[in-house]
Amino acid sequence: MTGYAVATSESAAGTLTIEIKSVNSRFLDLQFRINDDLRALEPDLRSAIMAAITRGKVEIRLSFGRKAAGAGTQALNVPLLNELARLQGEVSKHFAGAQAMSVAELLRWPGVVEEAQIGQESLQADVAALMNRTVQAFVTSRQREGAALEAMLISRIEAMEGIVKRITPLIPQVVAAFQQKAIERMQEALGLASQGSNSSLSRQDAMERIRQEVILYGIRIDVAEELGRLSAHLSETRHILKKGGQVGKRLDFMMQELNREANTLGAKASVKELADASMELKLLIEQMREQVQNLE
C-alpha cells in the first residue's frame, strides 16, 4: 500500500526531519537515506517500521540540520594543531626560509575547528520521539488507503455473489438437458444392440456404453458443489475484510481458492451461460488479486 508522512522537530542543536513514503509491494523492502553522522540510529528506525507494517517498499529519510555556530559551539582540535606544528618544524629543517602558517590559515585547515559534540543519548531520544510521531501518521495514511481498497474489494465480492445467484437457477435446466441427452444416447445404444446379429454392438457393449455416458453425465453437470464453495469462499473473504488487521496473506489464499473454483466451473461448463459466468468470475478475481497483494 502507498503511504506518506513527514514530521519535523527542533532541538538545541538543530532541526530533525523524518520522511516516510511507501509504494505497493508484496513484501517489506526498507530503504534508508540518513546523514552519515546519524547512521548509527538506523537499527532503531528499522525496528520501529517493522513493528508497524509488514508489506510495502518503504523509503525512510532522516536528516539533521545543525544550527549556525554560536558562542561555545565550536572548539579547536588540539591534537591536530600539535601535529601541524610538528610537521611545520620538520619542513623548517629542510627549508629554512619557509614561512610559517598564519592563524587564519590554521583556522581554515580542515578539521582544526570542530563543532561541539552533540549528546548521543539526547539525539537518540529526540529521533525516537519524532519517529514515533511519523510512523503513526504514516500508518494512518495507509489506513485511509486501506479503507478505499476494502470498498473496492467488497464491490467485487458483491459482483461475484450476483453472478453465482444468477446462474444457480440454471443448474436444474442444465441437468434436465443432460438427462434428455443421456436418455437419447441410451436408447440409441440399446436400439443398435437389438438390431440382431449384424449389429456392431452386443448387448454387453451397449450396457458398457450406457455406463460411460452416465459417468460422463455425472461429471459434466456436477457444478453445484463449485457454486456452493464459491459462495462459502466469498462469505469468508467478506468476513476477513470486515474483521480487519493484517489480512493480506489470508486474502492471498482466498484468491487462490476462488480462482480454483472458477476454473473448475469453466472446465465443466456445458452451456454458454456457465462458460461466460466462469470468465466473468476469473476477471473479477484477478482484479482483486492485484489489490490484495498490496494489503497488509
Which amino acid makes up residue 296? E
The predicted pLDDT at position 194 comes to 58
Q: What is the pLDDT of residues 220-256, one digit of tens each?
A: 666 778 888 999 999 999 999 888 777 888 898 999 9
Helix (H) / strand (E) containing 201? none
Cell of 263: 476454473
Higher pLDDT: 58 or 37? It is 58
| Global confidence as pTM | 0.60
Q: What is the pLDDT of residues 257-277, one digit of tens each?
A: 999 999 988 887 777 888 899
Assess whether pLDDT exceeds 50 at residue 95.
Answer: yes
Helix (H) / strand (E) containing 3? strand 3-10
Q: What is the mean pLDDT of residues 176-187?
A: 70
* Residue whose C-alpha is closest to residue 16's, from 105, 100, 122: 122
Instruction: Say what the alpha-carbon torsion angle 163, 165, 166, 170 is, to the nearest 10 degrees.
Output: 120
Q: Could you tell me how far CA 38 lies from the centroid of its own chain?
A: 29
CA separation, residue 246 to residues 30, 121, 252 (Å) = 19, 34, 12
